[in-house]
Amino acid sequence: MSDTFQGFGESIHFGKNPAVLVVDFINGFTDESCDLGSNLDEEVSHTKRLLDIARSRRLPILFTTVVYEPHYLDGGHFIEKVPALKCLLQDSGWVDLDERLERRENEEPLIEKKFASSFFGTSLHSILAYKNIDTLIITGCTTSGCIRATVVDALQYGYKAIVPKECVGDRSEKAHHSNLYDIQTKYGEVVAVEDVGNYLKTI
């Protein structure tokens, strides 16, 4: 049975006003000593190089983290399904951004979320609309969870969702590749980070 279906997987071309979104590259996910963590060194490194280009062009950059209160009511059934998330408390250190990304606090918003999508229950859509963004470059982790959910919502909110494949990762290689396939087939555009970098340099 072929994995190619007629009427699926057409190209979404880059728009004119991009922003870069870094999803959950926090210590809890990039430090292997955490139950949530995995080795994402290469993905963080590729993302940092992309951020350097975006910063040189003065393009909008946004970050997300996941933070829960000690009662965990704000996590609802998500916490029941993934109890490993309980470590993501405000003062735990696990919710802090990976320092290798060198976030500029006065210029690059940090959005706190509770669930997979970076849009659900957050100010992300409002910020992007205010900046007249039409293209969202989505990096971070994990491909099968927060990346996929964010891409789907980006599409539903009217943004061109672009995923540089070297800039996203997952603790499961199988889940990583299957979700990149689904994103490319139905929801966004999965491209090489070099192509994204070259595009940003034209803005």
* Predicted confidence (pLDDT) at residue 117 exceeds the cutoff of 90: yes
Query: 114 in helix, strand or coil?
Result: coil
* Catalytic option among 34, 87, 141, 146: 146
Q: Would residue 141 show up in a list of annotated catalytic residues for this protein?
A: no
Alpha-carbon torsion, ordered 94, 62, 145, 11, to 10 deg: -160
What's the CATH architecture for 18-202? 3-Layer(aba) Sandwich (3.40)
Domain ranges for the chain = 18-202
Enter the pTM of the model: 0.95
The Cβ of residue 180 has, within 10 Å, a number of other Cβ atoms equal to 20
Say which residues have a Cβ less than 8 Å from residue 29's Cβ, sequence separation at least 6: 36, 37, 38, 40, 141, 142
Strand boundaries in 42-149, DSSP class E: 61-66, 110-113, 135-141
pLDDT one-digit tens code per residue, 48-64: 999 999 999 999 999 99
Percent of the chain with pLDDT over 70: 98
> Which pLDDT score is estimated for 3?
66
Q: How confident is the model at residue 9 (pLDDT cuts 50, 70, 90)?
A: confident
pLDDT one-digit tens code per residue, 152-182: 999 999 999 999 999 999 999 999 999 999 9
* Burial of residue 69 (number of CB atoms within 10 Å: 0-12, 13-18, 19+): exposed
The pLDDT of 91-115, averaged and rounded, is 97
